[in-house]
Amino acid sequence: MQLSINGKSYDVASEPDTPLLWVLRDELHLTGTKYGCGIAQCGACTVHLDGQPVRSCQTPVSSVGAGKITTIEGLGGTHPLQAAWVKHDVPQCGYCQSGQIMSAAALLAQTPKPDDAAIDSAMTGNICRCGAYQRIRAAIKDASGQAPATAAA
3-state helix, strand, coil in the chain (%, to 5): 40, 15, 50
14 vs 97, beta carbon nearer ligand FES? 97
User: Where are the strands (E) in the chain, listed by range?
Assistant: 2-5, 8-11, 46-49, 52-55, 68-70
CA–chain centroid gap for 146, Å, is 21
129 near ligand FES (CB under 6 A): yes
The total of other beta-carbon atoms located within 10 Å of residue 88's CB is 21
Position among 20, 44, 69, 75 found at the interface with ligand FES (CB under 6 A): 44
CB of 77: closest distance to ligand FES in angstroms? 18
Q: In terms of Cα–Cα distance, which of 9, 6, 141 is closest to 71?
A: 6
Q: Which stretch binds ligand FES (CB under 6 A): 1-9, 69-77, 102-110, 126-134?
A: 126-134
**What's the Rg (C-alpha) of the chain?**
15
The closest alpha carbon to 101, from 129, 71, 146, 121, belongs to 71
User: Which of the residues 58 through 117 are near ligand FES (CB under 6 A)?
Assistant: 91-97
Instruction: Select from 6, 10, 18, 38 the one that contacts ligand FES (CB under 6 A).
Output: 38
Q: Which of 3, 22, 25, 55 binds ligand FES (CB under 6 A)?
A: 55
Q: Which stretch binds ligand FES (CB under 6 A): 43-51, 69-77, 101-109, 142-150?
A: 43-51
Part in contact with ligand FES (CB under 6 A); list of ranges 22-30, 39-47, 79-87, 108-116: 39-47
Distance CA(82)–CA(114), nearest Å, equals: 17
- What is the binding site for ligand FES (CB under 6 A)? 35-38, 40-45, 55, 57, 91-97, 128-130, 132
